[in-house]
Amino acid sequence: MLSIENEKRIEEWIEAHKNEFIADLSKIIAVPSVATPGVAEGEYPFGVESANVLAAAKELVEGYGFPVKNLENYCLVANVGEGEEKIGIFGHLDVVPCGNDWNYPPYQLTVEGDLLIGRGILDDKGPLWASIYAVRCLKELDLLPKREIEIFMGGQEECGMNDVEYYIEKSEKLPEASFTPDGNYPLCHGEKGGLRFYLAVPCNDAKIVDFSGGTVRNVVADKCTATLKDVCAKCLAEKLACNERISVETDGDLVKVTANGASVHASIPENGINAIGVLANALLDAKVFEGEAKAAMEFLALVNSDYNGAALGVPVEDEPSGKLTHVGGVINYDRGLLDLSIDIRYPVTEKGDVLLEKIIETVEPYGVTVHDVVNTNPAYAPADSELVRTCMKVIHSVFRRDHWKPYTMGGGTYAKHLPNACALGPEDPDYENPFGLFRGSIHQADEHTPAKLLFDTMLVYAKLLVELDDIDVTK
Ligand SMILES: [Zn+2]
Protein backbone atom coordinates (compact mmCIF):
# COMPACT_ATOMS: atom_id res chain seq x y z
CA MET A 1 0.00 0.00 0.00
CA LEU A 2 1.11 3.51 -0.73
CA SER A 3 1.88 5.41 2.49
CA ILE A 4 0.39 8.86 3.04
CA GLU A 5 3.89 10.25 3.04
CA ASN A 6 4.75 8.71 -0.34
CA GLU A 7 1.44 9.81 -1.79
CA LYS A 8 2.39 13.32 -0.81
CA ARG A 9 5.80 12.95 -2.45
CA ILE A 10 4.09 11.86 -5.68
CA GLU A 11 1.75 14.86 -5.60
CA GLU A 12 4.68 17.22 -5.01
CA TRP A 13 6.67 15.63 -7.82
CA ILE A 14 3.75 16.11 -10.23
CA GLU A 15 3.35 19.74 -9.12
CA ALA A 16 7.06 20.36 -9.72
CA HIS A 17 7.04 18.79 -13.20
CA LYS A 18 3.94 20.37 -14.74
CA ASN A 19 5.81 22.80 -16.98
CA GLU A 20 8.29 20.18 -18.13
CA PHE A 21 5.42 17.84 -18.94
CA ILE A 22 3.70 20.45 -21.09
CA ALA A 23 6.97 21.31 -22.84
CA ASP A 24 7.64 17.64 -23.66
CA LEU A 25 4.09 16.99 -24.76
CA SER A 26 4.20 19.98 -27.09
CA LYS A 27 7.03 18.28 -29.03
CA ILE A 28 4.82 15.23 -29.53
CA ILE A 29 1.72 17.25 -30.48
CA ALA A 30 3.84 19.09 -33.07
CA VAL A 31 4.18 15.97 -35.22
CA PRO A 32 1.16 15.58 -37.57
CA SER A 33 1.22 11.84 -36.99
CA VAL A 34 -1.71 10.61 -39.06
CA ALA A 35 -0.90 6.98 -39.83
CA THR A 36 -1.62 5.25 -43.11
CA PRO A 37 -3.96 2.23 -43.06
CA GLY A 38 -2.75 -1.28 -43.82
CA VAL A 39 0.96 -2.06 -43.73
CA ALA A 40 3.25 -0.46 -46.31
CA GLU A 41 6.39 -2.22 -47.48
CA GLY A 42 9.75 -0.95 -46.31
CA GLU A 43 10.94 1.34 -43.60
CA TYR A 44 7.69 3.16 -42.86
CA PRO A 45 4.86 0.66 -42.36
CA PHE A 46 2.39 3.42 -41.41
CA GLY A 47 3.92 6.33 -43.30
CA VAL A 48 6.71 8.72 -42.45
CA GLU A 49 4.78 10.91 -39.96
CA SER A 50 3.93 7.91 -37.79
CA ALA A 51 7.65 7.03 -37.77
CA ASN A 52 8.53 10.67 -36.98
CA VAL A 53 6.39 10.72 -33.86
CA LEU A 54 7.93 7.44 -32.67
CA ALA A 55 11.39 8.97 -33.14
CA ALA A 56 10.44 12.11 -31.21
CA ALA A 57 8.95 10.03 -28.39
CA LYS A 58 11.95 7.71 -28.22
CA GLU A 59 14.32 10.63 -27.72
CA LEU A 60 12.23 12.09 -24.90
CA VAL A 61 11.59 8.80 -23.10
CA GLU A 62 15.26 7.82 -23.30
CA GLY A 63 15.96 11.18 -21.70
CA TYR A 64 13.94 9.98 -18.67
CA GLY A 65 16.40 7.11 -18.38
CA PHE A 66 14.14 4.37 -19.78
CA PRO A 67 15.55 2.00 -22.39
CA VAL A 68 13.31 2.16 -25.47
CA LYS A 69 13.05 -0.27 -28.38
CA ASN A 70 11.66 0.77 -31.73
CA LEU A 71 9.98 -2.27 -33.32
CA GLU A 72 10.55 -1.49 -37.01
CA ASN A 73 8.51 1.74 -36.80
CA TYR A 74 5.36 -0.14 -35.77
CA CYS A 75 5.64 0.94 -32.15
CA LEU A 76 7.98 1.74 -29.27
CA VAL A 77 8.37 -0.42 -26.17
CA ALA A 78 9.96 0.96 -23.00
CA ASN A 79 10.75 -1.27 -20.04
CA VAL A 80 11.14 0.12 -16.56
CA GLY A 81 12.01 -1.62 -13.32
CA GLU A 82 12.12 -5.34 -12.86
CA GLY A 83 10.13 -8.25 -11.59
CA GLU A 84 8.85 -11.65 -12.62
CA GLU A 85 5.52 -10.24 -13.75
CA LYS A 86 4.81 -7.29 -15.98
CA ILE A 87 2.21 -4.55 -16.01
CA GLY A 88 1.53 -3.03 -19.42
CA ILE A 89 0.56 0.52 -20.30
CA PHE A 90 -0.67 0.83 -23.87
CA GLY A 91 -1.21 4.15 -25.59
CA HIS A 92 -0.92 5.49 -29.12
CA LEU A 93 0.96 8.34 -30.77
CA ASP A 94 -0.89 8.40 -34.08
CA VAL A 95 -3.87 10.71 -34.51
CA VAL A 96 -6.90 11.06 -36.76
CA PRO A 97 -6.67 13.72 -39.51
CA CYS A 98 -7.45 17.26 -38.37
CA GLY A 99 -9.82 18.47 -41.11
CA ASN A 100 -10.16 22.16 -42.00
CA ASP A 101 -12.32 23.48 -39.24
CA TRP A 102 -9.88 24.34 -36.44
CA ASN A 103 -9.91 27.69 -34.66
CA TYR A 104 -6.51 26.83 -33.14
CA PRO A 105 -3.41 25.42 -34.84
CA PRO A 106 -4.01 21.64 -34.71
CA TYR A 107 -0.35 20.61 -34.57
CA GLN A 108 0.81 23.06 -31.96
CA LEU A 109 0.02 22.76 -28.28
CA THR A 110 -1.98 25.83 -27.26
CA VAL A 111 -2.27 26.62 -23.56
CA GLU A 112 -5.27 28.84 -22.88
CA GLY A 113 -5.99 29.29 -19.19
CA ASP A 114 -6.32 25.75 -17.84
CA LEU A 115 -7.09 24.31 -21.28
CA LEU A 116 -4.64 22.44 -23.48
CA ILE A 117 -5.61 22.38 -27.16
CA GLY A 118 -4.16 20.37 -30.06
CA ARG A 119 -4.74 17.21 -32.09
CA GLY A 120 -4.09 14.20 -29.89
CA ILE A 121 -4.11 16.08 -26.58
CA LEU A 122 -6.86 13.73 -25.35
CA ASP A 123 -6.64 10.90 -27.89
CA ASP A 124 -4.13 9.74 -27.04
CA LYS A 125 -0.84 11.64 -26.83
CA GLY A 126 -1.72 13.58 -23.66
CA PRO A 127 -2.95 10.62 -21.57
CA LEU A 128 -0.13 8.36 -22.78
CA TRP A 129 2.41 11.02 -21.82
CA ALA A 130 0.74 11.45 -18.44
CA SER A 131 1.12 7.73 -17.77
CA ILE A 132 4.76 7.82 -18.91
CA TYR A 133 5.33 10.67 -16.44
CA ALA A 134 3.63 8.58 -13.75
CA VAL A 135 6.26 5.89 -14.29
CA ARG A 136 9.03 8.49 -14.40
CA CYS A 137 7.79 9.89 -11.11
CA LEU A 138 7.88 6.47 -9.43
CA LYS A 139 11.37 5.84 -10.75
CA GLU A 140 12.73 9.19 -9.57
CA LEU A 141 11.14 8.80 -6.14
CA ASP A 142 12.42 5.25 -5.85
CA LEU A 143 8.89 3.90 -5.62
CA LEU A 144 8.89 1.50 -8.57
CA PRO A 145 6.58 -1.46 -7.98
CA LYS A 146 7.61 -5.08 -7.68
CA ARG A 147 6.54 -5.76 -11.27
CA GLU A 148 8.30 -4.62 -14.40
CA ILE A 149 6.42 -1.89 -16.28
CA GLU A 150 6.17 -2.19 -20.04
CA ILE A 151 5.08 0.95 -21.87
CA PHE A 152 3.79 0.46 -25.41
CA MET A 153 3.56 3.48 -27.71
CA GLY A 154 1.67 2.60 -30.88
CA GLY A 155 1.99 4.10 -34.34
CA GLN A 156 -1.32 3.00 -35.88
CA GLU A 157 -4.15 2.68 -33.37
CA GLU A 158 -6.60 4.81 -35.31
CA CYS A 159 -6.56 2.91 -38.57
CA GLY A 160 -5.83 -0.77 -38.21
CA MET A 161 -4.02 -1.56 -34.93
CA ASN A 162 -1.38 -3.44 -36.87
CA ASP A 163 1.02 -1.88 -34.36
CA VAL A 164 -0.22 -3.89 -31.38
CA GLU A 165 -0.59 -7.05 -33.45
CA TYR A 166 3.05 -6.76 -34.49
CA TYR A 167 4.08 -6.20 -30.88
CA ILE A 168 2.15 -9.31 -29.77
CA GLU A 169 3.78 -11.36 -32.52
CA LYS A 170 7.27 -10.19 -31.49
CA SER A 171 6.72 -10.34 -27.75
CA GLU A 172 8.16 -13.24 -25.79
CA LYS A 173 5.83 -12.68 -22.87
CA LEU A 174 2.83 -10.36 -22.65
CA PRO A 175 2.13 -8.40 -19.44
CA GLU A 176 -0.01 -10.18 -16.83
CA ALA A 177 -2.32 -7.16 -16.78
CA SER A 178 -2.51 -4.05 -18.93
CA PHE A 179 -4.15 -0.64 -19.02
CA THR A 180 -4.84 1.72 -21.85
CA PRO A 181 -5.49 5.39 -21.06
CA ASP A 182 -7.69 5.67 -24.15
CA GLY A 183 -11.32 5.44 -23.00
CA ASN A 184 -13.63 7.12 -20.54
CA TYR A 185 -13.30 7.31 -16.78
CA PRO A 186 -13.62 5.38 -14.65
CA LEU A 187 -12.80 2.17 -16.51
CA CYS A 188 -14.09 -0.15 -19.15
CA HIS A 189 -13.98 -3.65 -17.76
CA GLY A 190 -15.41 -5.35 -20.83
CA GLU A 191 -15.22 -4.93 -24.58
CA LYS A 192 -17.46 -7.14 -26.67
CA GLY A 193 -16.00 -9.86 -28.85
CA GLY A 194 -16.04 -9.54 -32.63
CA LEU A 195 -17.01 -12.13 -35.23
CA ARG A 196 -16.74 -11.23 -38.90
CA PHE A 197 -17.51 -13.51 -41.81
CA TYR A 198 -19.27 -13.82 -45.14
CA LEU A 199 -22.44 -15.71 -45.97
CA ALA A 200 -22.59 -17.26 -49.44
CA VAL A 201 -26.27 -17.43 -50.42
CA PRO A 202 -27.22 -19.50 -53.52
CA CYS A 203 -29.29 -17.33 -55.83
CA ASN A 204 -29.22 -18.63 -59.38
CA ASP A 205 -31.70 -16.73 -61.51
CA ALA A 206 -31.42 -15.63 -65.12
CA LYS A 207 -33.11 -12.31 -64.23
CA ILE A 208 -30.27 -11.17 -61.97
CA VAL A 209 -27.45 -9.26 -63.65
CA ASP A 210 -26.09 -7.73 -60.47
CA PHE A 211 -26.98 -7.30 -56.83
CA SER A 212 -24.74 -5.06 -54.76
CA GLY A 213 -24.88 -2.76 -51.78
CA GLY A 214 -23.06 -1.28 -48.79
CA THR A 215 -19.59 0.23 -48.60
CA VAL A 216 -17.78 -1.17 -45.57
CA ARG A 217 -18.28 -4.19 -43.38
CA ASN A 218 -18.66 -2.37 -40.07
CA VAL A 219 -21.42 -0.01 -41.18
CA VAL A 220 -25.11 -0.82 -41.87
CA ALA A 221 -25.62 -0.81 -45.66
CA ASP A 222 -27.21 2.50 -46.70
CA LYS A 223 -27.79 1.63 -50.35
CA CYS A 224 -28.43 -1.56 -52.31
CA THR A 225 -29.24 -2.06 -55.99
CA ALA A 226 -30.53 -5.07 -57.93
CA THR A 227 -29.91 -4.89 -61.68
CA LEU A 228 -32.42 -7.11 -63.47
CA LYS A 229 -33.21 -8.15 -67.02
CA ASP A 230 -36.36 -9.57 -68.63
CA VAL A 231 -38.61 -7.83 -66.13
CA CYS A 232 -41.25 -5.20 -66.77
CA ALA A 233 -40.00 -1.89 -65.38
CA LYS A 234 -43.44 -0.31 -65.45
CA CYS A 235 -45.09 -3.17 -63.54
CA LEU A 236 -42.29 -3.10 -60.95
CA ALA A 237 -42.50 0.67 -60.52
CA GLU A 238 -46.28 0.41 -60.01
CA LYS A 239 -46.03 -2.40 -57.51
CA LEU A 240 -43.36 -0.57 -55.49
CA ALA A 241 -44.73 2.96 -55.88
CA CYS A 242 -45.82 3.25 -52.25
CA ASN A 243 -42.43 2.15 -50.89
CA GLU A 244 -40.66 5.46 -50.30
CA ARG A 245 -37.27 3.79 -49.78
CA ILE A 246 -37.32 2.21 -53.28
CA SER A 247 -36.63 3.72 -56.69
CA VAL A 248 -36.92 1.94 -60.06
CA GLU A 249 -35.03 3.09 -63.17
CA THR A 250 -34.29 1.63 -66.57
CA ASP A 251 -30.89 1.43 -68.20
CA GLY A 252 -31.39 0.18 -71.76
CA ASP A 253 -32.93 -3.28 -71.41
CA LEU A 254 -32.00 -3.44 -67.75
CA VAL A 255 -34.06 -2.43 -64.75
CA LYS A 256 -32.37 -1.12 -61.63
CA VAL A 257 -34.19 -1.36 -58.32
CA THR A 258 -32.47 0.65 -55.58
CA ALA A 259 -33.20 0.70 -51.86
CA ASN A 260 -32.09 3.55 -49.59
CA GLY A 261 -31.48 2.84 -45.94
CA ALA A 262 -29.72 4.73 -43.19
CA SER A 263 -26.12 3.89 -42.35
CA VAL A 264 -24.81 3.72 -38.79
CA HIS A 265 -21.81 2.09 -37.16
CA ALA A 266 -22.03 -1.64 -36.44
CA SER A 267 -21.82 -1.07 -32.68
CA ILE A 268 -25.24 0.70 -32.68
CA PRO A 269 -27.12 -0.96 -35.56
CA GLU A 270 -30.55 -0.44 -34.01
CA ASN A 271 -30.29 3.22 -35.06
CA GLY A 272 -29.98 2.35 -38.76
CA ILE A 273 -32.05 0.92 -41.61
CA ASN A 274 -30.40 -1.80 -43.66
CA ALA A 275 -30.90 -1.18 -47.39
CA ILE A 276 -30.17 -4.85 -48.22
CA GLY A 277 -33.15 -5.98 -46.14
CA VAL A 278 -35.33 -3.19 -47.57
CA LEU A 279 -34.50 -4.28 -51.13
CA ALA A 280 -35.03 -8.00 -50.46
CA ASN A 281 -38.43 -7.28 -48.90
CA ALA A 282 -39.45 -5.06 -51.84
CA LEU A 283 -38.51 -7.71 -54.41
CA LEU A 284 -40.52 -10.26 -52.43
CA ASP A 285 -43.52 -7.87 -52.30
CA ALA A 286 -43.30 -7.39 -56.06
CA LYS A 287 -43.08 -11.19 -56.56
CA VAL A 288 -40.10 -10.85 -58.91
CA PHE A 289 -38.59 -14.26 -58.16
CA GLU A 290 -39.54 -17.91 -57.79
CA GLY A 291 -37.58 -20.84 -56.40
CA GLU A 292 -33.98 -20.37 -55.30
CA ALA A 293 -33.83 -16.58 -55.78
CA LYS A 294 -37.06 -16.17 -53.83
CA ALA A 295 -35.62 -18.24 -50.98
CA ALA A 296 -32.45 -16.14 -51.12
CA MET A 297 -34.49 -12.92 -50.78
CA GLU A 298 -36.38 -14.42 -47.84
CA PHE A 299 -33.06 -15.20 -46.19
CA LEU A 300 -31.67 -11.70 -46.83
CA ALA A 301 -34.87 -10.10 -45.54
CA LEU A 302 -34.68 -12.16 -42.38
CA VAL A 303 -31.00 -11.57 -41.65
CA ASN A 304 -31.09 -7.85 -42.37
CA SER A 305 -34.27 -6.89 -40.54
CA ASP A 306 -33.12 -7.88 -37.06
CA TYR A 307 -29.92 -6.66 -35.42
CA ASN A 308 -29.62 -8.97 -32.44
CA GLY A 309 -28.68 -12.32 -33.90
CA ALA A 310 -32.15 -13.96 -33.99
CA ALA A 311 -32.04 -14.82 -37.69
CA LEU A 312 -28.57 -16.29 -37.22
CA GLY A 313 -29.60 -18.45 -34.26
CA VAL A 314 -27.61 -16.46 -31.70
CA PRO A 315 -29.98 -14.04 -29.92
CA VAL A 316 -27.75 -13.95 -26.84
CA GLU A 317 -27.19 -11.31 -24.18
CA ASP A 318 -25.54 -11.02 -20.79
CA GLU A 319 -25.77 -8.80 -17.76
CA PRO A 320 -22.41 -7.00 -18.03
CA SER A 321 -22.57 -6.12 -21.72
CA GLY A 322 -26.12 -6.51 -23.07
CA LYS A 323 -27.23 -7.94 -26.40
CA LEU A 324 -25.26 -9.37 -29.28
CA THR A 325 -25.50 -7.13 -32.36
CA HIS A 326 -25.06 -8.07 -35.99
CA VAL A 327 -25.14 -6.15 -39.25
CA GLY A 328 -25.06 -7.00 -42.92
CA GLY A 329 -22.57 -4.51 -44.35
CA VAL A 330 -21.62 -5.30 -47.93
CA ILE A 331 -23.27 -7.56 -50.51
CA ASN A 332 -22.07 -8.65 -53.95
CA TYR A 333 -23.28 -11.04 -56.64
CA ASP A 334 -21.11 -13.41 -58.60
CA ARG A 335 -22.02 -16.48 -60.66
CA GLY A 336 -25.21 -17.39 -58.89
CA LEU A 337 -24.00 -16.59 -55.38
CA LEU A 338 -24.82 -13.60 -53.20
CA ASP A 339 -22.00 -12.84 -50.77
CA LEU A 340 -23.03 -10.91 -47.67
CA SER A 341 -20.59 -9.65 -45.02
CA ILE A 342 -21.65 -9.97 -41.40
CA ASP A 343 -20.17 -8.02 -38.47
CA ILE A 344 -21.13 -9.35 -35.04
CA ARG A 345 -20.32 -7.82 -31.63
CA TYR A 346 -20.96 -10.44 -29.01
CA PRO A 347 -21.35 -10.23 -25.22
CA VAL A 348 -18.24 -10.46 -23.05
CA THR A 349 -19.19 -13.78 -21.44
CA GLU A 350 -19.81 -15.60 -24.76
CA LYS A 351 -17.33 -17.59 -26.86
CA GLY A 352 -16.85 -16.87 -30.56
CA ASP A 353 -16.37 -20.48 -31.68
CA VAL A 354 -19.53 -21.66 -29.90
CA LEU A 355 -21.57 -18.88 -31.54
CA LEU A 356 -20.08 -19.67 -34.92
CA GLU A 357 -21.17 -23.30 -34.67
CA LYS A 358 -24.75 -22.23 -33.94
CA ILE A 359 -24.70 -19.81 -36.87
CA ILE A 360 -23.46 -22.49 -39.29
CA GLU A 361 -26.24 -24.83 -38.09
CA THR A 362 -28.88 -22.12 -38.45
CA VAL A 363 -28.03 -21.05 -42.01
CA GLU A 364 -27.38 -24.55 -43.36
CA PRO A 365 -31.04 -25.36 -44.17
CA TYR A 366 -31.04 -22.35 -46.55
CA GLY A 367 -28.08 -23.82 -48.42
CA VAL A 368 -26.02 -20.89 -47.08
CA THR A 369 -22.36 -21.39 -46.19
CA VAL A 370 -20.07 -19.36 -43.92
CA HIS A 371 -16.56 -18.38 -45.05
CA ASP A 372 -13.55 -16.14 -44.20
CA VAL A 373 -14.24 -16.04 -40.48
CA VAL A 374 -12.26 -13.71 -38.18
CA ASN A 375 -12.88 -13.90 -34.44
CA THR A 376 -11.62 -11.37 -31.88
CA ASN A 377 -12.16 -12.52 -28.32
CA PRO A 378 -13.84 -10.18 -25.84
CA ALA A 379 -11.85 -8.41 -23.14
CA TYR A 380 -13.43 -8.87 -19.75
CA ALA A 381 -12.52 -8.54 -16.09
CA PRO A 382 -15.52 -9.01 -13.77
CA ALA A 383 -16.51 -5.87 -11.84
CA ASP A 384 -15.83 -7.67 -8.56
CA SER A 385 -12.35 -8.90 -9.58
CA GLU A 386 -9.44 -7.70 -7.43
CA LEU A 387 -8.01 -5.84 -10.40
CA VAL A 388 -11.16 -3.82 -11.13
CA ARG A 389 -11.82 -3.12 -7.45
CA THR A 390 -8.26 -1.84 -6.93
CA CYS A 391 -8.51 0.40 -10.00
CA MET A 392 -11.86 1.80 -8.81
CA LYS A 393 -10.46 2.47 -5.34
CA VAL A 394 -7.56 4.48 -6.79
CA ILE A 395 -9.78 6.36 -9.27
CA HIS A 396 -12.23 7.30 -6.51
CA SER A 397 -9.36 8.46 -4.28
CA VAL A 398 -8.30 10.97 -6.94
CA PHE A 399 -11.61 12.05 -8.51
CA ARG A 400 -14.12 11.46 -5.70
CA ARG A 401 -17.06 10.81 -8.03
CA ASP A 402 -19.09 8.19 -6.26
CA HIS A 403 -21.47 7.77 -9.19
CA TRP A 404 -18.70 6.48 -11.48
CA LYS A 405 -19.12 2.75 -12.11
CA PRO A 406 -17.12 0.38 -14.34
CA TYR A 407 -18.78 0.00 -17.74
CA THR A 408 -18.58 -2.16 -20.87
CA MET A 409 -18.68 -1.22 -24.55
CA GLY A 410 -18.87 -2.50 -28.11
CA GLY A 411 -15.12 -2.57 -28.38
CA GLY A 412 -12.41 -0.58 -29.97
CA THR A 413 -9.30 -0.07 -27.82
CA TYR A 414 -6.02 -1.94 -27.57
CA ALA A 415 -7.45 -3.76 -24.53
CA LYS A 416 -9.31 -6.22 -26.72
CA HIS A 417 -6.04 -7.47 -28.19
CA LEU A 418 -4.40 -8.09 -24.82
CA PRO A 419 -4.97 -10.52 -21.97
CA ASN A 420 -6.46 -9.12 -18.76
CA ALA A 421 -6.60 -5.56 -20.03
CA CYS A 422 -8.90 -2.61 -19.59
CA ALA A 423 -9.25 0.96 -20.76
CA LEU A 424 -8.76 3.28 -17.75
CA GLY A 425 -9.46 6.99 -18.25
CA PRO A 426 -8.84 9.62 -19.49
CA GLU A 427 -12.10 11.20 -20.63
CA ASP A 428 -14.29 12.68 -17.94
CA PRO A 429 -17.91 11.67 -18.62
CA ASP A 430 -19.14 14.61 -16.49
CA TYR A 431 -17.12 17.23 -18.36
CA GLU A 432 -19.05 20.11 -19.88
CA ASN A 433 -17.29 20.89 -23.12
CA PRO A 434 -17.16 24.69 -23.50
CA PHE A 435 -16.76 24.34 -27.29
CA GLY A 436 -20.20 22.78 -27.78
CA LEU A 437 -21.42 19.49 -29.16
CA PHE A 438 -19.46 19.07 -32.41
CA ARG A 439 -16.20 20.75 -31.45
CA GLY A 440 -13.47 20.21 -28.90
CA SER A 441 -13.73 16.50 -28.22
CA ILE A 442 -11.66 13.58 -29.52
CA HIS A 443 -11.61 13.24 -33.32
CA GLN A 444 -13.18 16.72 -33.58
CA ALA A 445 -11.74 20.13 -34.42
CA ASP A 446 -10.15 21.99 -31.47
CA GLU A 447 -9.60 18.78 -29.50
CA HIS A 448 -8.81 19.93 -25.98
CA THR A 449 -8.70 19.00 -22.32
CA PRO A 450 -8.32 20.78 -19.02
CA ALA A 451 -4.68 20.31 -18.00
CA LYS A 452 -5.93 19.14 -14.61
CA LEU A 453 -7.44 16.02 -16.15
CA LEU A 454 -4.01 14.95 -17.43
CA PHE A 455 -2.33 15.67 -14.07
CA ASP A 456 -5.06 13.76 -12.25
CA THR A 457 -4.54 10.91 -14.71
CA MET A 458 -0.81 11.02 -13.93
CA LEU A 459 -1.62 10.69 -10.24
CA VAL A 460 -4.08 7.83 -10.86
CA TYR A 461 -1.52 5.82 -12.83
CA ALA A 462 1.28 6.48 -10.34
CA LYS A 463 -0.85 5.39 -7.38
CA LEU A 464 -2.32 2.43 -9.22
CA LEU A 465 1.05 0.97 -10.24
CA VAL A 466 2.09 0.91 -6.59
CA GLU A 467 -1.28 -0.32 -5.24
CA LEU A 468 -1.21 -3.28 -7.62
CA ASP A 469 1.70 -4.67 -5.59
CA ASP A 470 -0.83 -5.79 -2.97
CA ILE A 471 -2.93 -7.97 -5.26
CA ASP A 472 -2.82 -10.90 -7.63
CA VAL A 473 -3.62 -9.06 -10.87
CA THR A 474 -4.88 -12.19 -12.57
CA LYS A 475 -7.77 -12.70 -10.14
ZN1 LIG B 1 -7.42 6.58 -29.10
Render pLDDT for 301-322 as a digit per residue (tens, 0 to 9).
999 988 999 999 999 999 999 9
Q: Are 160 and 38 in contact (CB under 8 A)?
A: yes
DSSP 265: B
SS3 label, residue 46: coil
pLDDT tens-digit series, residues 109-125: 999 999 999 999 999 99
CA of 469 to the centre of ligand 1 (A): 28
Q: How many helices (H) and strands (E) does the chain have?
A: 11, 24
Residues whose CB falls within 8 Å of the CB of residue 321, separated by 6 or more in sequence, listed in order: 190, 192, 347, 348, 349, 378, 380, 408, 409
Q: What would the mean pLDDT of 362-391 be, rounded to a whole number?
A: 93
Q: How confident is the model at residue 220 (pLDDT cuts 50, 70, 90)?
A: confident
Instruction: Reply yes or no on whether the pLDDT at 154 is more than 80.
Output: yes
CA of 403 to the centre of ligand 1 (A): 24
This prediction's pTM:
0.80
Q: Are 191 and 412 in contact (CB under 8 A)?
A: yes
CA of 128 to the centre of ligand 1 (A): 10
DSSP 96: -
CA of 25 to the centre of ligand 1 (A): 16
CA of 75 to the centre of ligand 1 (A): 15
CA of 91 to the centre of ligand 1 (A): 8
CA of 115 to the centre of ligand 1 (A): 19
- According to the model, what pLDDT value does residue 264 have? 79
CA of 241 to the centre of ligand 1 (A): 46
CA of 437 to the centre of ligand 1 (A): 19
Give the count of beta carbons closer than 10 Å to the beta carbon of residue 326. 26
CA of 182 to the centre of ligand 1 (A): 5
Can you list the domains of the chain with their CATH numbers? Answer: 4-191+379-470 (3.40.630.10), 193-376 (3.30.70.360)
CA of 466 to the centre of ligand 1 (A): 25
Distance (Å) of CA 398 to CA 197, 401, 456, 470: 44, 9, 7, 19
Instruction: Reply yes or no on whether the pLDDT at 411 is more than 70.
Output: no
- According to the model, what pLDDT value does residue 267 have? 74
- According to the model, what pLDDT value does residue 198 have? 97
Q: What would the mean pLDDT of 31-46 be, rounded to a whole number?
A: 96
Smallest CA-to-CA distance from 128 within 95, 81, 105 is with 95
Residues whose CB falls within 8 Å of the CB of residue 400, separated by 6 or more in sequence, listed in order: none
Instruction: Reply yes or no on whether the pLDDT at 99 is more than 90.
Output: no
CA of 219 to the centre of ligand 1 (A): 20
pLDDT > 90 fraction of the chain, expressed in percent and rounded: 87
CA of 442 to the centre of ligand 1 (A): 8
pLDDT tens-digit series, residues 275-311: 999 999 999 999 999 999 999 999 999 999 889 999 9
CA of 177 to the centre of ligand 1 (A): 19
CA of 286 to the centre of ligand 1 (A): 47
CA distance 141 to 135: 10
